[in-house]
Structure 1
């Protein structure tokens, strides 16, 4: 009451300095009861998340991981204070994207436990943001951890959850979920389910809006589609279709996409094994690994090459090409 009377009295004399000071004090009081302003660096963090979505672009995975961790640390304090609902939504969406991409890099480096922990954080952030497509994307990418490290049943369960979260609209997340499910079913010796999921992925890809077809981790490009198809068809032993997807994916992959191109070459080597030429499969795998910088011969790449070696029957392990692959993997 006293402050209101002082304000009224000050304004009665016109827009004098005391009156303006009283007005400022009144506005400040109201501001303090309202939600905070948009964090000044939120737009920068959203732009950083978009930039990380373009992948490694020739940079070592460990360097990308360090940059992601730095920006995620910048983001964290904004989540610990009250925010307007729209700002909180943007913060959670950005946190979900960055945590998911951190998990992807950790997965590629072979740190499965840390990758799963970051995916859990990403899933919580995506759920809080209310973005079903982001949540489906996180689940799909998380499914690739057990998919690539020997647990196809768990991968299929996560991929099924992702498909449910994404719904039936042709979105990047829905297409990715169907493609990952196809790979998991193929590894789990469920060929009918795998082919049904491949058909669903193709149908979604054909209807996917152009804005969701860019070549990033957060969207779903034709290149990415053929990378998934390559692995699914290779696992199914459908080497003709696998080779078609490998060729198309390589055509669409940038020369700096070192890890992706290497995985495609290992898929091609696995096709040679399926077609009965295990020595050629080993030679091609050795060539793929030998052309890599040391920082890339770990994690997912090494696991995929190890899987091929372990698929070689014991009676062929004495052959020179098989022994060479074993030595490269042991180095």
Structure 2
């Protein structure tokens, strides 16, 4: 009380040097209590996470993986010490983004076990950050692991978790979750639920703010939307709508987007097979694989081409086009 009265008296009398010193001390005391200095590395790590969101940029997945993991380890000492709540939330958000993107790369190169482990870490970090949209994004991306590797029921469960977390607002995470759910339902032979989810994804996409439409892993652009639609409609056997989405997605894909373009071409091949032209399907899939640079013919791309090959009746396996696909898969 005595200190407060002295301070009040000094300030009321005049802004003398001692009064100004007292004023500065009062502000500094409270300012340091409310908002200690943000760790110097945090802004750099947030910027790094944003840059990783732009994808491979013609780099091999293993190179991107190495960079993200090195930066991710930088977060540990910052998380290991007490931080003010807003700073810790930012650290957890960045950790969730980086762990999620690391999991995406691991998924793309075919390491499912490590991918799931990193998604689990990403989900914990996102939950602690309090960012529901980030948590929904992590769960929707995680759903693509069982989706692409033969467990559509598990994919449905994760995608629906993501949809509940994202809510009904038109966000990148909500739109992604609906599109992934549609693909999972289609693979699970639940065509009615798949078409309902597709309609929901389209409705959300039409209302999605411009700020969430950029072409990154953390947002949801039109190109990505049509990649998901292509696979869903291909799986449903709706080849007309699948072709429309394939063409639009290819128009929007950069020439360096090797993995998405290859997956779209394999979808086109699967549509040819569905429509009865098995030789054309094999030729298209083989051409898509052989056009890839070294280091890219693994993981998801190989799995999708292998699924097509396994769907081809045995009586076609001796034909030249089928052998070309076999050779491409073996390379």
TM-score normalised by the chain length of structure 2: 0.90
2:8 corresponds in structure 1 to none
Q: Does 1:230 align with 2:263?
A: no
2:89 corresponds in structure 1 to 89
1:249 corresponds in structure 2 to 249
For 1:203 and 1:171, how far apart are their aligned partners in 2? 11
1:10 corresponds in structure 2 to none
For 2:28 and 2:170, how far apart are their aligned partners in 1? 48
For 2:28 and 2:221, how far apart are their aligned partners in 1? 49
2:114 corresponds in structure 1 to 114
Question: How far did 1:28 drift?
Answer: 10
> What secondary structure sits across from 1:294 in the alignment?
coil
For 2:121 and 2:220, how far apart are their aligned partners in 1? 22
1:146 corresponds in structure 2 to 146
For 1:227 and 1:252, how far apart are their aligned partners in 2? 10
For 1:211 and 1:34, how far apart are their aligned partners in 2? 31
Question: How far did 1:174 drift?
Answer: 0.3
For 1:52 and 1:29, how far apart are their aligned partners in 2? 39
1:8 corresponds in structure 2 to none
For 2:123 and 2:289, how far apart are their aligned partners in 1? 34
1:163 corresponds in structure 2 to 163
Question: How far did 1:67 drift?
Answer: 0.7
2:62 corresponds in structure 1 to 62
Residue correspondence of structure 1 range 1-331 to structure 2 within 5 A: 36-331=36-331
Q: 1:28 to 1:171 in 2, by over 3 A?
A: closer
Question: Please, what is the CA RMSD of the aligned residues?
Answer: 2.3
Contact 1:103 1:115 in 2 (8 A): yes
For 2:314 and 2:153, how far apart are their aligned partners in 1? 26
Instruction: Provide the aligned length of Structure 1 versus Structure 2.
Output: 317
For 2:45 and 2:129, how far apart are their aligned partners in 1? 16
Contact 1:302 1:329 in 2 (8 A): yes
Moved over 6 A (4+): 24-35
Q: Deviations over 1:285-311 (max 9, x none)?
A: 110011111200000100000000011
Question: How far did 1:329 drift?
Answer: 1.2
For 1:312 and 1:295, how far apart are their aligned partners in 2? 26
Question: How far did 1:27 drift?
Answer: 11
1:9 corresponds in structure 2 to none
TM-score normalised by the chain length of structure 1: 0.90
For 2:63 and 2:165, how far apart are their aligned partners in 1? 32
> What secondary structure sits across from 1:104 in the alignment?
helix
Contact 1:35 1:83 in 2 (8 A): no
Runs of 5+ consecutive residues of structure 1 not aligned to the other structure: 5-13
Contact 1:36 1:82 in 2 (8 A): no
For 2:128 and 2:179, how far apart are their aligned partners in 1? 26
Runs of 5+ consecutive residues of structure 2 not aligned to the other structure: 4-15
Contact 1:226 1:248 in 2 (8 A): yes
Q: Deviations over 1:21-59 (max 9, x none)?
A: xxx999999999887521001111111111111111111
Question: How far did 1:62 drift?
Answer: 0.7
Question: How far did 1:77 drift?
Answer: 1.1
Larger deviation: 81-90 or 313-322? 313-322
For 2:119 and 2:232, how far apart are their aligned partners in 1? 23
